[in-house]
Amino acid sequence: MLKLLQQAFLRLSPRYQLKNPVMFVTYIASVLTTLIAIYEYTHPPKGPVHFSIHIALWLWFTVLFANFSESVAEKRGKAQAENLRKSRRDILAKLLVNQNSKEYLLRSSTELHAGDIVLIEAGDIVPGDGQVLKGVASIDESAITGESAPVIREAGGDRDAVTAGTIVLSDWLIVRVTSNPGETFLDRMIAMVEGAKRKKTPNEIALSILLAGMTLVFLIVAMTLLPFSIFSAMNLHQGEFISLTVLIALLICLIPTTIGGLLSAIGIAGMDRLIQSNVIAQSGRAVEAAGDVTVLLLDKTGTITLGNRQAAAFYPAKGVSITALAEAAELSSISDNTPEGKSIVALAREKYQIGPTDIVALAATFIPFTAQTRMSGIQLENRQILKGATDAISKHVAKQNVVIDDTIVSKIEEIAKLGSTPLLVCDNDKIMGVIQLKDIIKTGIKERLAELRSMGIKSIMMTGDNPLTAATIATEAGVDDFIAEADPEEKLRLIRSYQESGQLVAMMGDGTNDAPALAQTDVAVAMNSGTQAAKEAANMIDLDSDPTKLIEIVKIGKQLLMTRGALTTFSIANDVAKYFAILPAAFSTLVPGLGILNIMKLTTPHSAILSAVIFNALIIILLIPLALKGVSYHAMNANKLLRNNLFKFGLGGVIAPFIGIKIIDLIISRLMIL
């Protein structure tokens, strides 16, 4: 708390206050009132001696409270940045001289540059962001993601990116460094978390301009009141002219100091809520855009489904027993280390009690899967057992003039209609049957997509599957639309067509093929486990690599926009009560008829003005928790949501000052400080 107060005082410099026009005017007003108080202390006026001193103190409190709100908002980010900074250390990296022989020289990680090739072995800390060229290893990324479970990183595919500061637990990797010193993901993450590079978003800038305009209008009004009151007092003999202290108090109470003092804190807190969800935003613009998203593009694999197809059933051919098919399927998959292959082995063993087979005793040769053959299996002494795509196996057995019977053909079509993938199994030239691989829909995804729909967001599933499979998965998951057989060009065309119609598009991706689409979308979230290309194209990075995180990001974006709008409404509505407090008090001698506006029955003109100034300062500190936590968001129609917030914060903003100012006036009159 002492550090936060210290920061609040350190920010009382004109250069810092100039960043916020509303608070800069309040700052100048505090300085002027302080000078007036000093003068009146040496030249006592006719009225209350300490009035200007009290006004000056509470104006300084107003500025301090605004600084304090920003310091509190930054505190959590700085604490998290400190933890991340501990993960960043200067280590010795093994800079390869020759990749083939693994000869290396020891170099400080601060001397590595993009393009350098390094060897990272078990127990080593990854010296810089990079792309795996060779090897496969288990890596502890808990320092970055907070997740204790290790992850696998390997060359090729979409999991070939490593992050500086993580630790290799087993095996080895040869990595090409992709970042220069001070530009690693960890360095950028620390800067973002600290808010050191936080720039105002377009909405925030627009609101700042509006608040500055309102401040200028009230400043001009206040400036014209002084000569008007002097003219009335001297030439028309209508009471005493308004003092400069009263005019300053009137100005500060009428300009939107509440939202002006909390505006920066709201933006910082919004970014912080995103960070607490383990998402790093490259800019606040992306967070705000998330709140306005109308179209959400989702990959099928890993987002809507679990990511790996699982063996669901075996369907034997005519004249083949289910046990014989299960045995052949198990043998064909025994060397297949893919999740699909492992699930086939598991299904055969658990449901049909096949095996486990003694691989050494078989003395077999394993046939690996290739993109050309699209088959894999095992070669025994006089048996070749294969499994693979239906057309690939059909062509293989067709060489022996074997024709697949109609029962198997109809079963293949039936499996495809269900949205599953059929695999044929053959023993030499004999078709044994079909394996059904099924995409497993994630638990709760249908409910989450329904929640998006209630927010007015259209969900579109993108997949490379055929239209029949895509339609089945889309129906089961509950997406609004789908694009089948989608390639990178098709994704780009889809995104651009929606953007041209004025809609904001969000997308999450992890592969190099997703990079063009991520670069085009308004809200692009890359998985931390994804490729370097995807991370560079995105404007957000999800450290948890959770494909459904995009839904949470949308909620945070909407909450940020709602919080800013709600507190702006509350701040402007506050002025109504202040009119009834200050105007009758300020013009009590010039225009006695304005006394009818003193509906709060405030004790004296000076207590009324001081009560309004005190409330104006205290309301900032009271609203800090709301600015940090954010207005609660519930999925509902946008118009209904707007009406609810206008009613709650608009009406609340009108009523709260009447109650607060009256209570403060009663306390002041009891204490008799004037």
Is 469's pLDDT higher than 80?
A: no
Is residue 420 a known part of a binding site? no
Please give the pLDDT value at position 138: 82
Is 157's pLDDT higher than 70?
A: no
Is residue 1 a known part of a binding site? no
Is residue 340 a known part of a binding site? yes
Task: Record the pTM.
Answer: 0.67
Indicate if the alpha-carbon torsion angle 18, 216, 564, 630 is positive or negative: positive
Is residue 387 a known part of a binding site? yes
**Domains by residue range for the chain, with CATH:** 1-79+194-274+555-671 (no CATH), 112-180 (2.70.150.10), 293-304+442-543 (3.40.50.1000), 308-440 (3.40.1110.10)
Name the band, by pLDDT with cuts 50, 70 and 90, for residue 240: low
Task: Give the integer Cα–Cα distance in Å for 63 and 22.
Answer: 10
State the helix-helix crossing angle for 202-235 and 257-276, rounded to 10 degrees: 160
Any bridge partners for residue 106, and if so which?
Answer: 94
Is 673's pLDDT higher than 60?
A: no
Name the band, by pLDDT with cuts 50, 70 and 90, for residue 367: confident
547 neighbors 565 (Cβ within 8 angstroms): no
Name the band, by pLDDT with cuts 50, 70 and 90, for residue 272: confident
Is residue 374 a known part of a binding site? yes
Is 58's pLDDT higher than 90?
A: yes
Please give the pLDDT value at position 593: 67
Mean pLDDT value of segment 567-591: 79
Within 10 angstroms of residue 143's Cβ, the number of other Cβ atoms is: 18
Please give the pLDDT value at position 208: 83
254-258, 395-399, 575-579: segment of lowest average pLDDT: 575-579
Query: Which of the pair, 537 or 186, is modelled with greater confidence?
Result: 537
Please give the pLDDT value at position 226: 74
Is residue 376 a known part of a binding site? yes
110-114, 354-358, 388-392, 607-611: segment of lowest average pLDDT: 354-358
Contacts of 175 (CB under 8 A, 6+ apart): 117, 118, 119, 120, 126, 130, 131, 132, 133, 162
Summarised one tens digit per residue, pLDDT across range 604-649 is 888 888 888 999 999 999 998 888 888 877 766 666 777 787 788 8
DSSP states along 460-527: EEE-SS-HHHHHHHHHHHT-SEEESS--HHHHHHHHHHHHHTT--EEEEE-SGGGHHHHHHSSEEEEE
Is residue 372 a known part of a binding site? yes
Summarised one tens digit per residue, pLDDT across range 8-57 is 778 888 888 888 888 999 999 999 999 988 888 777 766 666 888 899 99
Average pLDDT of the chain, as a whole number: 81
Q: For residue 57, what are its two tokens?
A: 């103190």
Task: Give the integer Cα–Cα distance in Å for 598 and 541.
Answer: 55
List phi, psi (to 5°) of 530: -80, -175
Summarised one tens digit per residue, pLDDT across range 545-564 is 776 777 788 888 888 888 88
Is 168's pLDDT higher than 90?
A: no
Catalytic site residues?
299
Q: For residue 219, what are its two tokens?
A: 């400043």
Is residue 514 a known part of a binding site? yes
Is residue 369 a known part of a binding site? yes
Name the band, by pLDDT with cuts 50, 70 and 90, for residue 325: very high
Return the C-alpha torsion angle 481, 485, 487, 491, nearest 10. Answer: -10
Task: Give the integer Cα–Cα distance in Å for 73 and 273.
Answer: 10
Task: Give the integer Cα–Cα distance in Å for 472 and 67.
Answer: 55
Please give the pLDDT value at position 27: 93
Please give the pLDDT value at position 197: 47
Name the band, by pLDDT with cuts 50, 70 and 90, for residue 228: confident
